[in-house]
A and B are shown apart, each in its own frame.
Chain A
């Protein structure tokens, strides 16, 4: 059954779309989140706690609500309407960024927060520029940051509510356009095709596991060489 499914181009197209959407979303989220986490983490200012609370709330934001808000934004009636994003993979990337960015920001922030202030002071004392200090801080917090990115990836690729709404679960000419593993599982389960749904679920699990393994491998390898 599994080999029959995997020999089918349709399944591969779904895996491709899932990975494309979630990996792109995570890359963009990381680019967006890490500077914020770094700045918030190393500076003290009024309202920092409130900002922390906002970010933490964002980590638990319900994906269907995000889907609805993004749908309003990208619909032809919405502010991003002229970009023609509705029911495209790019709209799904957008909604996954909204979902994953707070997770990455939040977890990285607490990792950066917990880097010993003495290390930063030492870097300054040794004549480091602000950039040097930032690099040192990120190096110290790298496991926390990697955890944040992985958690964000897990949230993005396993989420079904928002991609279903903004992507539309479209298959065109026999291959996936906006159908991801999760929306495919939802469709198969709705139609009572539980075996197929379970196989797709297993594929999803394997994907998440492998990405985690790769990142952990990279992390520990990097640790030894330094």
Chain B
């Protein structure tokens, strides 16, 4: 009974900290008062398991961060790339130690339900709208997503949606809603596939799509040729921000999780080494992520 109440309190506390601060070192420390008590249960085989999203994984940043983490700590990393929903479900089932995703609204629920603690927002990239060079709906000259989306809808130019309940899909639906458009009709195609596949489809069909910048850059010539509307990485529409949240799986829910390793991993993401790595990471010579440990503009806040 007592532990139960404590776990509820802790998750509320962790949630509130995440709401206000992202996570600074102090937030990590206060958020993890149970660290001592979980140590006896923690396996010491020197491995940590991270559930992440396919787009995060495909950008290569998880590998880069994990290699540096392993070099620093000797703890090896097993990363599983799943859809956002599946990654969070893996965390809920206690089948991983850290969840590293980019869907603030789903992360909020994950934290509020007490499955995730110590949430921090180490970085962001942005979503972009890409499409054919001819740009029939004239997206390139728009300043906001809402304007761009209404152009696509009124011109009924083909748009391919992920249609798979991924973080990107959820973001896309929020953007349509924000533009006060209910996308439907023959021009709106739901692929039900990963970002890479959707980009290939869009390129083949000369269609528009919403993508995260990382996957877009890594797909090179297989993706649509033109990046038409940018997010905050290139000072574009702020609503296209794509903040990444990292959380430890709550050891009060799943006592077997390697919480002390998870804490080390989150600390590493927010450390100077980790942040520099994020800032200097390049795909096709282009910067991809913006480090957010010192950010005060509230990107990634899960205050809805």
Contact status B194-A190, CB under 8 Å: yes
Q: How far is the CB of A68 from chain B (nearest CB, A)?
A: 11
Interface residues of A, count at CB 8 A: 17
- Mark the stretch among B78-86, B132-140, B266-274 that contacts chain A: B78-86
Residues 65-93 of B, flagged 1 when their CB comes within 8 A of A and 0 if not, give: 00000100000111111100000000001
- Which chain B residue has the least Cβ–Cβ distance from A74? B95
B293 at the interface (CB under 8 A from A): no
Separation of A217 and B156 alpha carbons in the complex (Å): 61
Contact status A75-B219, CB under 8 Å: no
Most buried by A among B54, B96, B196: B196
Residues 177-202 of A, flagged 1 when their CB comes within 8 A of B and 0 if not, give: 10000000001001110000000000
Across-interface contacts of B200 in A (CB, < 8 A): 192
A87 at the interface (CB under 8 A from B): yes
Contact status A192-B93, CB under 8 Å: no
- Which chain B residue has the least Cβ–Cβ distance from A186? B194
B238 at the interface (CB under 8 A from A): no
Q: How many A-B residue pairs have CB under 8 A?
A: 51
The majority secondary structure among interface residues of chain B is: mixed
B160 at the interface (CB under 8 A from A): no
Contact status B219-A172, CB under 8 Å: no
Across-interface contacts of A84 in B (CB, < 8 A): 256
A44 at the interface (CB under 8 A from B): no
Chain A to chain B contacts (Cβ below 8 Å), 22 pairs = A75-B95, A76-B94, A77-B93, A84-B256, A86-B95, A87-B78, A87-B80, A87-B95, A168-B80, A169-B80, A172-B47, A172-B76, A172-B77, A172-B78, A173-B70, A173-B76, A187-B81, A190-B197, A192-B199, A192-B218, A192-B219, A192-B223
Given contacts A170-B79, A190-B54, 18 further A-B contacts (CB under 8 A): A76-B256, A77-B93, A77-B94, A87-B78, A87-B80, A87-B95, A87-B96, A168-B80, A168-B82, A169-B80, A169-B81, A172-B77, A190-B194, A190-B197, A191-B218, A192-B196, A192-B222, A192-B223
